[in-house]
Amino acid sequence: MSILDLAWRVAAAVAFGYLLAGVPFGVIVARRFYHLDITTVGSGNTGATNIFRTLGWKAALAVALLDVAKGVVPALVARFLLADAAWPTSGRDLLIIAAGVASMAGHMYSPYFRLRGGKGVATAAGAILVLMPKVFFALLVIFVLLIVIVRIVSAASIITALALPLVTWGLYADRLVLLAFACAAVPLVIFAHRSNIVRLMHHEEPRITMGRASDHRQKESS
């Protein structure tokens, strides 16, 4: 494979990841099925948590699955684009990681919606599912347990992110590229949740409930 051929494959994977993940499914679901502009209620965030607090668990589940798919599909496309490439495993991992990061960027800064979006956690989880399936399921268990215990999505997301390098090291210690990605992902998640961290420090971050939010002014993570 020539350098030019490789370059267009990488560019295609990254561009596809960004453009696909930029589709604001939270906005679409809220408008199409609930006739609501999700950016005008709750935190104004387009992710699944604001959908949950505003519209309930059914809408939130649909949006969460779609947001995960925005990470899964570009990662699979990246893997397909290098299927015949004479690249080492680390090179393939790097391309999938690049597509995953582009997907996160597209979800957080949608090119179709004034560069607005969600926190990127669900989309990152989709890329991790393709890249490191054992890590994905381990983190899913950790996240669910944290939700049950603390009932604060942002706190659960941050703690789960902190666990990512440890879980990756335990399950994929022989693949240094994956470990480097896991370590680099932690500050990105923390940065995305910086406003939530301030509210956590002031004990102002709301806990999740099984009903719709009674106060749409509450701020949350998604």
pLDDT at 136: 96
Q: Where are the domains of the chain?
A: 3-201
Helices 121-131, 176-192: inter-axial angle, 10-degree rounding: 170
**What is the CA angle 101-106-107, rounded to 5?**
100
Alpha helix positions (H), 2-55: 3-21, 25-34, 48-55
Instruction: Render pLDDT for 33-61 as a digit per residue (tens, 0 to 9).
Output: 999 999 888 777 888 888 988 898 899 99
pLDDT of residue 220: 42
What's the Rg (C-alpha) of the chain? 18
Assign 222 a pLDDT band (cuts: 50, 70, 90): very low
Mean pLDDT, all residues of the chain: 87
pLDDT digits (tens, 9 = 90+) for 110-153: 999 888 888 889 999 999 999 999 999 999 999 999 999 999 99
Write the pLDDT tens digit of every residue in 80-106: 887 666 667 777 888 899 999 999 999
| pLDDT confidence band for 213 (50 / 70 / 90) | very low
